[in-house]
């Protein structure tokens, strides 16, 4: 485990963890049934930023777009938000996020950490509202809300795993 109670990590079937120290660049995902938010994080600067939103649907995620983003940003590890209930229980969305994380690891062969994402949607909505109020976002940018949620997930992980 990563040493924090709100993060689970795996590097494949035989290794239950990956070396946090060696991780500098991470890409985080906010998995949703229709859209998957994507954000970039850097441990050196302790910063994150929303990158993109990837389509997800009955045929599954747009793996081609996911692969293109990962080739472009070359992360050391991946993060996937784990939507738990307020009492830490699993739900259908939790199982779907776990399945996405496992498939992501199988396709990319990078370590993946599951990060507790409770209340990240609320934080993302507040950030989007603040960005709109300051003139840095417009109503039509609301489609990026999932990427902002991924940004929050990455920031949570960065705070829990400082250099």
Consecutive H or E run containing 7:
strand 7-10
Strands (E), 43-85: 47-57, 60-61, 77-82
Highest mean pLDDT among 6-10, 18-22, 142-146, 152-156: 152-156
Measured CA distances, 8 to 95, 130, 133 (Å): 14, 31, 36
Q: Provide the pLDDT for residue 77.
A: 96
Q: Provide the pLDDT for residue 41.
A: 97
pLDDT in tens, 33-70: 999 999 999 999 999 999 999 999 999 999 999 999 99
What mean pLDDT is reported for the chain? 83
pLDDT in tens, 68-93: 999 999 999 999 999 988 888 888 99
Burial class (CB in 10 A: 0-12, 13-18, 19+), 104: buried
List the domain boundaries for the chain. 7-160
Q: Report the CATH architecture of 7-160.
A: 2-Layer Sandwich (3.30)
- How many C-beta neighbours within 10 Å does residue 93 have? 17
pLDDT exceeds 80 at position 133: no
77/72 Cα distance (integer angstroms): 14
Radius of gyration over every alpha carbon of the chain, rounded to an integer in angstroms? 15
Q: Provide the pLDDT for residue 88.
A: 83
pLDDT: is 10 or 12 the higher one?
10
């Amino acid at each position: 485990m990563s040493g924090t109670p709100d993060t689970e990590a795996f590097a494949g079937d035989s290794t239950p963890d990956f070396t946090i120290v060696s991780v500098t660049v991470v890409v985080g995902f906010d998995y949703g049934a229709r859209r998957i938010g994507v954000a970039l994080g850097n441990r050196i600067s302790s910063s994150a930023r929303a990158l993109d939103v990837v389509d997800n649907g009955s045929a599954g995620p747009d793996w081609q777009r996911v692969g293109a983003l990962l080739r472009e940003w070359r992360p050391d590890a991946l993060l996937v938000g784990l939507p738990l209930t307020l009492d830490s229980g699993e739900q259908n969305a939790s199982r779907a996020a776990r399945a996405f994380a496992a498939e992501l690891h199988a396709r990319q062969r990078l370590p993946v950490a599951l990060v507790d994402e409770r209340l990240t949607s609320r934080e993302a909505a507040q950030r989007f509202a603040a960005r709109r109020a300051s003139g840095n976002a417009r109503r039509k940018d609301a489609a990026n809300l999932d990427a902002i949620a991924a940004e929050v997930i990455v920031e949570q992980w960065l705070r829990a795993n400082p250099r």
